């Protein structure tokens, strides 16, 4: 442990009544935009859907109940690298042998919330119809500037820097060897844990291979890779405006999103809808959507979360294109937004496992927790002895 790390302390959170009343006042005072007739979701967040969600938010949503549900998770804080880091640390149930420590890394727009449904399935598989021998000690931190973790005081941290913090966090918790998994930005952080701390990471599981960055000879790309590059570029034109704002001018957007709960909800809900695996956009209940939004609202972290895109845009290409030699597994869910071909994954990582579940999207750990848990159990099973 370094001098900048402290032993974990139990964490509890309860929003004040004043914060909740301020939220209700702001919701009631919403100034709604107009919308072209028949636009639906084609131009972004849909007016009728947001009005329905806000009505529910005001009249039926019970934050106290959701707060209590999240409080059932064993949550802690510790100072890591000079930052207060909030995390879940859920130990394997019973007297499980050969337990594998596992750190799960969330993405945007979410927090530890992404894994709240899957944690019990990983720590106590026997209780959920799986093999008790597949139990994990699970650690789920909020990245700096997300959720209940501190915001960096200066420039935002990039994914390699966060990976360094997580290696220190795991050492602080007593884990010298561990597995790591993630999606979205969390996939990036997991990748850098494997690249920069290969002596600590026994294996890495990812839900995506990131956006393609390639400095080699284009003639060496396979037809499938070229097609994928083209599809990613087309997706960026149609769907990538949010990312361009996050990378270039996140602070400008932060003013409106921090001030308006409906603006914040629109920014997040549109992505939860379009990135999930649901033809009708109903992958999440209103309670689930609003719980995710409320974490951003109450912590005031939408601006700091977006700034991580700006930080990651500055990672040197030579680092981005490094190949991961630690054993790597990929579960590419059928409803996710960017699905790479096997050739690209093999180019960028030492792939020892590939699965393509039919159901589940960008938020698969929340959308399909049973399937996601089984993916992790299956992939990490051969590596359990590597931690002893």
CB count in 10 Å sphere of residue 345: 20
Calculate ∠ Cα 124-127-128, nearest 5°.
95
Q: Where are the beta strands (DSSP E) in the chain?
A: 9-10, 75-80, 83-90, 100-105, 136-141, 178-182, 201-206, 324-331, 349-355
Cα separation, 348 vs 330, whole angstroms: 12
CB count in 10 Å sphere of residue 352: 14
Cα separation, 355 vs 97, whole angstroms: 27
SS3 helix, strand, coil % of the chain, rounded to 5?
Answer: 50, 15, 35
Catalytic-residue membership of 188? no
Cα separation, 242 vs 273, whole angstroms: 14
Q: Is the dihedral of CA 80, 82, 87, 90 positive or negative?
A: positive
- Give me the torsion for CA of 32, 252, 38, 283, rounded to 10°: -90
Cα separation, 183 vs 104, whole angstroms: 9
Catalytic-residue membership of 205? no
The residue among 324, 295, 345 whose CA lies nearest residue 160 is 324
Catalytic-residue membership of 184? yes
CA 352 vs CA 3, 189, 382, 385: distances in Å: 38, 19, 11, 17
Out of 184, 208, 277, 336, the active site residue is 184
Cα separation, 361 vs 326, whole angstroms: 25
CA 374 vs CA 52, 117, 267, 368: distances in Å: 35, 13, 31, 10
Cα separation, 50 vs 175, whole angstroms: 44
Out of 137, 309, 310, 336, the active site residue is 309
Cα separation, 319 vs 323, whole angstroms: 9
CA 201 vs CA 100, 206, 334: distances in Å: 11, 13, 27
Q: Whose structure tokens read 């960017």?
A: 338
> What residues are labeled active site?
184, 309, 362
């Amino acid at each position: 442990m370094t001098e900048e790390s402290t032993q974990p302390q139990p964490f509890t959170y309860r929003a004040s009544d004043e914060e909740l009343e301020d939220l209700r006042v702001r919701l009631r005072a919403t100034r709604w935009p107009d919308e072209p007739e028949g636009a639906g979701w084609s131009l972004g967040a849909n007016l009728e859907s947001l009005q329905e969600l806000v009505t529910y938010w005001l009249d039926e949503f019970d934050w106290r109940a959701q707060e209590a549900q999240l409080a059932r998770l064993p949550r802690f804080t510790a100072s890591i690298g000079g930052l207060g880091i909030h995390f879940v640390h859920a130990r394997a149930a019973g007297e499980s042998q050969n337990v594998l420590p596992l750190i799960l890394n969330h993405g945007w727009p979410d927090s530890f919330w992404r894994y709240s449904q899957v944690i019990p399935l990983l720590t106590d598989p026997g209780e959920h119809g799986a093999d008790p021998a597949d139990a994990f000690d699970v650690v789920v931190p909020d990245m700096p500037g997300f959720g209940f973790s501190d915001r960096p005081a200066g420039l935002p941290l990039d994914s390699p820097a966060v990976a360094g913090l997580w290696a220190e966090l795991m050492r602080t918790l007593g884990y010298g060897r561990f597995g790591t998994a993630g999606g979205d930005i969390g996939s990036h952080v997991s990748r850098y844990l494997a690249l920069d701390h290969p002596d600590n990471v026994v294996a890495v599981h990812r839900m995506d291979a990131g956006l393609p960055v390639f400095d080699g000879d284009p003639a060496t790309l396979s037809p499938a890779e070229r097609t994928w590059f083209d599809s990613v570029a087309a997706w960026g034109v149609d769907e990538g405006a949010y990312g361009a704002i996050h990378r270039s001018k996140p602070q400008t957007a932060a003013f409106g999103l921090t001030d308006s709960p409906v603006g914040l909800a629109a920014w997040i809900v549109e992505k939860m809808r379009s990135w999930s695996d649901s033809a009708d956009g109903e992958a999440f209940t209103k309670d689930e959507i609003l719980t995710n939004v409320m974490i951003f609202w109450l912590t005031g972290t939408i601006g700091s979360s977006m700034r991580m895109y700006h930080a990651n845009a500055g990672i040197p290409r030579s680092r981005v294109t490094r190949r991961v030699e630690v054993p790597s597994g990929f579960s590419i869910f059928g409803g996710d937004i960017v699905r790479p071909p096997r050739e690209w994954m093999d180019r960028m990582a030492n792939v020892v496992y590939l699965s393509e579940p039919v159901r589940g999207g960008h938020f698969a750990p929340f959308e399909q927790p049973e399937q996601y848990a089984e993916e992790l159990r299956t992939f990490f099973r051969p590596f359990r002895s590597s931690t002893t």
